[in-house]
Amino acid sequence: MSEKAPNILIIQADQMAAPALPFHGHPVVRAPHMAALAEAGVVFDSAYCNSPLCAPSRFSMMSGLMPSEIGAYDNAAEFPATIPTFAHHLRQLGYRTVLSGKMHFVGPDQLHGFERRVTTDIYPADFGWTPDWERPGERQDFYHTMLSVAEAGPCERSLQLDFDEEVAHQGMRALYDLAREGGEAGARPFFLQVSFTHPHDPYTITREYWDRYEDAEIDLPRVPAMPREALDPHSRRVFDACGMAKYDLSAARVRAARRAYYGAISYVDDQVGRLLAALKSTGLADDTIVILTGDHGDMLGERGLWYKMSFYEGSARVPLVVHAPGRFAARRVGRNVSLLDLYPTLVELGGGGRDGETPGELPGRSLVPLMSGQGEDWSDTVHGEYLGEAAAGPLVMIRRGPHKYILGEDSPAQLFDVAADPDELNDLAKDPGHAGLAADFAAEAAARWDFAALKRRVILNQRRRRFVFAAQSRGETAPWDFQPVFDASRLYARNRADVLGDLERDARLPHAAAPPADGPGS
């Protein structure tokens, strides 16, 4: 690279619904650090994940490919090591690539282009969470449970808190380490991804964040819970798989779950603030592009549904903010975009050019023209696939212009004008006035997806994974879970060839100016 490319910091939150954020108009949630990024950055008001489930969304985002193209069917599907990612590409462009936090990588490759990974993951890397489409209606132990809602409230500690505090600490430590690197390594730009598990359920957070909200200010769902029989077939399966009828979800319990979720967003916001403060203290803030995003959303009780696993707005729409005031003026973009667009965007930002060579055609497009106030020829089309738990076959989405089309193998088509009907209550699929539009979407879906063939592929893949997992669970096991390695012999002060003073001076940030040598022998 003729001149140093910008550093890039991606901050990702798990299950953070765009409609629940203040910079998307939520009147209750408080997230000042994220709001400040949005105020000075480029905000994408209509950004979507390409699969509303953790692992498939992340694999698709990193590879720039649709889940069905890479076998990213569910949360126990392997992310093949042969698939290039944006981390590989940025590394090829000369970046130092570092990961702190959750990516839900499944399989023996736990890096996927990252040179350094400073934490383990929160979820297993094996095939144990494989769904079984051949047993529709049978609930598996790893599915969500409505205990998350029934037991919502404050806590002193949780699995998620243990994880995210390590993620934040190691993310900040990585920033300082990257800033202190000298020589050839220090001359390279960095790409750091810091990925939190909050505000993912269970809906619990410490008293500090719980108390940032009052019960009286917590809004209830805009769309009240519907009777099971009033839901579409896919939503009924999600309803059953999560046991949503098992507990009496009173207004008080729903309000408590949403209060904890809002508190968890505020918790993530504080971690964002810590990262931004660390970035500023390194002196690298002006040279770093900060991207804030999520992997999918959360229904939060809308329609009586919780978690994700559907293409309704609460589940499928994600935050996407690009903060680089020195490069892009603050603006809001209303065009439809998806996480697939991040790969070509990062390549262009990293100096690879808009038509930067990729090892295969990518369906996404660079967002740089939209961030620059251009992009008049933007296709405005987003595709989505859901092939995971609680499904009995493929569920797909096409979002174009103001319209969203959803179709399942055994679920009648749904068509919504999201601009006019943001709560998606008026299904236009059978409206005679929209028959032509519905027919066009149906033809496009039929041309793009072979539901029967895709279902056969998913089921065969599920069978193989269940067999492999059962076999690998016998006798000696060799877990794939990432093991962070810290060589204590190279940490802090050790008796090596380094002079102690040099070690201490190199670790100080910023480096102190050496005083003049004016004593005897100078």
Helix (H, G, I), strand (E, B) or coil at 153: strand
54 catalytically annotated: yes
Identify the CA nearest to 21 among candidates 314, 332, 347: 314
Amino acid letter at 446?
A
Strands (E), 305-388: 320-323, 331-333, 337-338, 381-386
Tokens matching residue 95:
């970046």
Strand 116-117 relative to strand 96-101: parallel, antiparallel, unpaired? parallel
Tokens matching residue 278:
């660390």
Pick the catalytic residue from 33, 54, 144, 323.
54
Buried b / exposed e over 86-115, threshold 16 CB at 10 Å, is: bbbbbbbbebbbbbbbbbbbbbebbbbbbe
- Lookup result for tokens 């859901």: 386
Question: Rounded to whole angstroms, how far apart are CA atoms 312 and 329?
Answer: 31
- Lookup result for tokens 């998913």: 458
Pick the catalytic residue from 104, 112, 200, 296.
104
Question: Rounded to whole angstroms, how far apart are CA atoms 299 and 315?
Answer: 5
Tokens matching residue 407:
């179709």
Q: Measure CA 17 to chain center.
A: 10
Amino acid letter at 320?
L
Tell me the β-bridge partners of 289. 8
Tell me the β-bridge partners of 97. 191
CA dihedral 488, 102, 289, 261 (to 10 degrees): -130
Tokens matching residue 275:
């990262």
Contacts 24+ apart (CB under 8 A), 501-507: 506/180, 506/182, 507/180
Which residues are tagged catalytic? 54, 104
